Amino acid sequence: MPYPVTLLPGDGIGPEVAAAAVRAVNATGVAIEWDEVELSGAVIERTRQSAPDAVLESMERTRVGLKGPVTTPIGGGFQSVNVALRKKLELFANVRPVRSLPGIRTRFQDVKIDLIIFRENTEDLYSGLEHEVVTDVVTSLKVITRAASIRIAKYAFAFARANGRKKLTAVHKANIMKLGDGLFLKCAREVAAEYPDVEYKELIVDNASMQLVMRPETFDLLLLPNLYGDIVSDLAAGLVGGLGLVPGANMGEKYAVFEAVHGSAPDIAGKGVANPTALMESAVLMLRHLGERGAADRLQGAIERVYADGKTVTPDIGGTATTSEFTDAVIAGL
């Protein structure tokens, strides 16, 4: 029986990178029943829903989604699609592996980076509770709960134990936000006590950011509240070549959505030069989630061989290949 998967191509370069990822997954030989559902700025404007009913109905059936980028308005307009889906589907754990790829020229090309960020995905400032008290005075509420903090900590520590990862660092600002971040830290410590086999450390978020830039190879797993996790994820992506190379997974008790975390890049949409690596590697995470670890490893290996060869990479990393040519090379590598 094929695995049912909701495909959300998105907009901008989304449909191009989604098509590439679908081709790569199909080439592994794993049978997927793709249920493609349109999710774009135009659809959201028309339905007035950041998480349209058609998307939720498909996810209810498949439980697994592969999602391209969707443009989010800045300073107004509709709510972020990502935030809406995470809340509607209770996708409480945002997981972003950040790994060095062969052949990528960065400031850290002589350093092997292999870290994973676990970001609480449902609350903090992303609760969206804002209020204009009087003209030009706005408050935004930062919500931290024990339930959500314990849940993400347990997810991260369980992952560490199951995958042989030895060190986890909780990142916080409890020196200033003593109640909110203090509660997050208290929960992390409580869960850490149940996992003596995993080394536990803590870093204030500003120090963690500096340490990541100076010594990224010293980090293994990072556990963060929502806002810090979002910022640090992008910082870490910059260490290995940018958001176009980094996958993402949003995990819940019932549903899982795997997505490229980069933007929709409307300036290059339709030109055939978008880099599909992030969504392909998100598909690798999806295959592992489905239990197809062999296929996942083969696809990951094929992507890395294309980068190691360096002859068929896209313009964003110094090559001349089109999206289709890059995908052809990955499939040939399978």
Catalytic residues: 126, 173, 206, 230, 234
C-beta of residue 171 within 8 angstroms of C-beta of residue 203: yes
C-beta of residue 334 within 8 angstroms of C-beta of residue 284: no
284's CB contacts (< 8 A; 6+ apart) are 247, 296, 299, 300, 303
Instruction: Return d(Cα 91, Cα 132) in angstroms, integer.
Output: 29
**What count of Cα atoms within 13 Å lies in the side-chain half-sphere of residue 215?**
6
Q: Is the dihedral of CA 225, 230, 231, 233 positive or negative?
A: positive
Instruction: Using the CB atoms, write b or e for 275-307: b if 16+ within 10 Å.
Output: bbbbbbbbbbbbbbbbebeebbebbbebbbbbb
Instruction: Return d(Cα 49, Cα 132) in angstroms, integer.
Output: 24
C-beta of residue 314 within 8 angstroms of C-beta of residue 286: no
